[in-house]
A and B are shown apart, each in its own frame.
Chain A
């Protein structure tokens, strides 16, 4: 039986794949979103910035920034999940991946449920791929701030899958 790869090799491979996916999308940098990874589980982090405010009186995060954050988390989560087997097999050559080479799923529709106003602090989100098929996928995203159980927004979206091995 083949010995498993050393833990550092495995982590490096997974983190490089995640960086390759997020590095593809300029809008992720624009919003200041990053991802924490534990195994295959990703948590999106939108670091607070004054530029994200929509209502300066309250103040509250802009609904559009929240929607964008959840959509980014859905797309990255879906891409990471669908590429996981290739990442583990070492088949995803992230070193030679140029921007735009990794085809991302396209959003068909996205529906955001605003549950509480977004506080002026960091926000977190996790995506769950409810259904992933050859052509379409359905993804649910939960967003929270201070308390994991007190969601401030949730969303469901449908995505058109990129061609295989794209």
Chain B
């Protein structure tokens, strides 16, 4: 099971062109939980005076990790879409450090998966950003939910 999850999730990231463009890597996946990291890249800078990565790139990381968590959840499914995503930026990410997002499905219904996520740089005690989101749960092929 773990192997299947792993394979599914690796393919998921590889199949997302935008995530690939941002250099994202799926580090870990378990049912309803995903860890995705994004290396530092000067192209992603939002403020040249501080060299801090733009919040938008962190949003993309959070969204990808959230989607991966939903897909790995037994009640979730392939082909989820984001309904809403709110991000709190707690502190600037340290330049030159990889950012890692940990996303977890904390509740799932027949139609919606609720996700929480946190992003860290090398300081794993103080999150860079936190997010909450709602994702769609796709209808099953057989018409059931």
Contact = CB atoms under 8 A, between A and B. Distances in A.
Interface of A: 24-27, 29-31, 50-57, 60-65, 67-69, 71-72, 99-101, 103-104, 106-114, 117
A26 B17 contact: no
Contacts of A108: 88-89
Contacts of B83: 113-114
Contacts of A99: 48-49
B2 to A, nearest CB: 25
A103 B48 contact: no
**Interface size class for chain B?**
35 or more
Contacts of B43: 26-27, 29-30
A100 B48 contact: yes
Given A27-B44, A62-B16, A110 B63 contact: no
Nearest to A102: B49
Interface of B: 15-19, 21-22, 42-50, 53-57, 59-64, 67, 79, 81-89, 92
A104 B22 CA distance: 23
B132 to A, nearest CB: 9
Nearest to B51: A100
Nearest to B89: A107
B54 A55 contact: no
Given A64-B60, A71-B56, A114-B82, A109 B21 contact: no
Contacts of B85: 63, 67, 111-112, 114
A35 to B, nearest CB: 15
A25 B48 CA distance: 7
B60 A68 contact: yes
A110 B130 CA distance: 11
B79 A55 contact: yes
A71 B59 contact: yes
B60 A111 contact: no
B18 A51 contact: yes
Contacts of A50: 17
6 contacts: A53-B17, A62-B63, A64-B22, A64-B60, A72-B56, A108-B89
Contacts of A31: 56
